[in-house]
Every structure is written in structure tokens, then in C-alpha cells.
Amino acid sequence: MKAWAEQTIVITGAASGLGRALVQHFATLQARVYAVDVDAERLTQSRQESPAPFEPVVCDVTELVAVEQTLASIPADVLVNAAGITGQTNRKSYEVDAADIERVFRVNFFGSYYTSRVLLPGMVARGYGRVLHIASIAGKEGNAGMLAYSASKAAVIGMAKVQGKEMAETGVTVNALAPAVIQTPLVDAMPPEQVRYMTDKIPMKRTGTLAELVATVAFIVSPQTSFTTGFTFDMSGGRATY
Ligand SMILES: NC(=O)c1ccc[n+]([C@@H]2O[C@H](COP(=O)([O-])OP(=O)(O)OC[C@H]3O[C@@H](n4cnc5c(N)ncnc54)[C@H](O)[C@@H]3O)[C@@H](O)[C@H]2O)c1
């Protein structure tokens, strides 16, 4: 089994939040990490602050041609799709702009589809791969006022099921992860009442930590996790028990 130091890992949404934490974790373990994000400035800043080196890749994952140009030649062992946006929130489904729904689907669903479309054939040819799409509890439960986000994450969960079955005999696993709220700088900046509103639905009555997120992802994409595919892992402090 390949050690992390021998692995090539592609992570999208790499300049912030979950993606940034994952990049720094795997870079510290001396994996060759390609950190993909559309935000060049934040990616450069993250590179400067990282305790270990990684390869920054500026790419908009909603553009298939750009994804092909930047990622097709990378012999990836692991792909983690963390690029995502919420779009408009706090609106009834009949009030949301249709263009906003399309924009959210383009990042959350098509972005993850394009990167996996480009990297899966190489994984299949090499007989090994781990793909993880970061979905959300919203994709399982449906959050009122968040049609685009919830529906796009449900689509991501559906894609993991399809790709997991398609790849089942190839040595490549494809799974999804459905976190509830994870404590990122974004959540740090929210008023405590807002955070309490979100965590009240969580039986553990708290947010998840980035350390917990990193540990769960590292387990899912490890070579040892080899008999689970097409599955949506939970990370919700007991909110979703299925
Ligand atoms: N933070 C949470 O509590 C939480 C909970 C459940 C699911 N998630 C999911 O985890 C993922 C990461 O969330 P986060 O909180 O770290 O978000 P974040 O906003 O901190 O980071 C997302 C990153 O994606 C990048 N990105 C956006 N559009 C892109 C594009 N078109 N091409 C390339 N990169 C693009 C952004 O520049 C940003 O750096 C998202 O998919 C999110 O839906 C987060």
C-alpha cells in the first residue's frame, strides 16, 4: 500500500476552509498535492502560510476545457472535490433566481463532475484511485431557503452512487461526505446566536472541527478504506443517522 508521501493528491476549493485544511494536512505528510482554486490571490496566500509546499493550480472548475488543460496530465491517486458555493439563501424556492440555481449547480455539481471526468480514466488505467465529493447534510435533508445548494448537493450524492458502482471492479472508489456545520473562519465570524441556531439541530450541540473533518477525509481516501464505494459518509454530530 502506498504511503501518503508516495501519493499524488488533487484537492479543489483549496484556498479556503475545508480544502485549505486538507491541502496543508496532506502536504505536511509529504504527499504531492495539487491545490486547485479559482481565487489566485488566496491560493498564493495559503501557499505562503502553509507549513509544507504544494502545487497551486488556478482553475475555474466550472470550465471543462480549463479543467482538462490543468488536470489531465496529473497522475492522481486521490481527488477531493471541496470547491462549492451556497448561492442565494433564505429565499423560498419560488423566489430564487433561476440563474442563481444554474450558477450553484455549475460549481457544486458540474465542477465535481468535470474534475472526476478528467481524472477517473487515469485512475482506472493505473488500477487505483480514491475520489471523494464533499456534499452536505443539506443534500440529504434539504434545507428550507436553500434550494440550489440542497439540490446540487443531492445531485453530488447521486453522482457518487453512480460513479462508485461504475468503478467498482477497477480499484477506484468514489464516495461522498455529508458534513453539517464545520467550524471555519466563515463560521467564526458569525454572531453566536446564528451559530446556535445552526447547531441546535445537531444532537452534539456543536459544530464539527477542521481537525475532525481532516481525520474523516484522510480515513475515507486512505488505501485501507477499500471495501466502501458509492457511499455518503456522515459527519453531522448525530443529526443524520442514515
Ligand atoms: N463549512 C461547512 O460547514 C460545510 C458544511 C457542509 C458542506 N460544506 C462543503 O464543503 C466544501 C468547502 O466548504 P468551505 O466551508 O471550505 O467553503 P469556502 O467558501 O471556505 O471554500 C470554498 C472554496 O471553493 C473555491 N471555489 C468556488 N468556486 C470555484 C470554482 N468555480 N472553481 C474553483 N474553485 C472554486 C473558493 O474560491 C473557495 O476557496 C463546499 O463544497 C461546501 O459546500 C461545507
**What is the average pLDDT value for the chain, to the nearest integer?**
96
Per-residue pLDDT tens for 114-167? 999 999 999 999 999 999 999 999 999 999 999 999 999 999 999 999 999 999
State which ligand 1 atom lies nearest to the alpha carbon of 42.
39
Interatomic CA distance for residues 81 and 105, integer angstroms: 14
pLDDT band at 213 (very low <50, low <70, confident <90, very high): very high
Question: C-alpha angle 158/238/182, rounded to 5°?
Answer: 75
CA of 44 to the centre of ligand 1 (A): 17
pLDDT of residue 198 exceeding 90, the answer is no
Q: Which of 38-52, 176-190, 227-241 has the lowest mean pLDDT?
A: 176-190
Q: Is the CB of 62 under 6 A from ligand 1?
A: yes
Phi, psi dihedral angles at 72 (to 5 degrees): -60, -30
Q: Which atom of ligand 1 is nearest the CA belonging to 61?
A: 32
Q: Tell me whether strands 55-58 and 78-81 are parallel, antiparallel or unpaired.
A: unpaired
> 13 CA distance to ligand 1 centroid (A)?
5
| C-alpha–C-alpha distance, residues 222 and 5, integer Å | 12
Q: What residue ranges define each of the domains in the chain, with the CATH number in brackets? A: 4-181+210-233 (3.40.50.720)
For the question of whether the overall pTM of this predicted structure is more than 0.95, the answer is yes
> By alpha-carbon position, which residue is closest to atom 17 of ligand 1?
17
Is the shortest distance between the CB of 139 and ligand 1 below 6 Å?
Answer: no
| CA-closest residue to ligand 1 atom 41 | 84
* pLDDT value for 197: 80
Ligand 1 in reach of 234 Cβ (< 6 A): no
Whether 193 has a pLDDT exceeding 90, the answer reads no
pLDDT-based confidence at 60, cuts 50/70/90?
very high
Residue 92: per-residue pLDDT: 95
Using pLDDT thresholds of 50, 70 and 90, give the confidence band for residue 40. very high
Torsion of CA 209, 180, 12, 232, to 10 degrees: 120
Is any ligand 1 atom within 6 A of the Cβ of residue 70?
Answer: no
Find the catalytic residue in 34, 149, 197, 242.
Answer: 149
Q: pLDDT class for 190, splitting at 50, 70, 90?
A: confident
pLDDT of residue 155: 99
Does the annotation mark 114 as catalytic? no
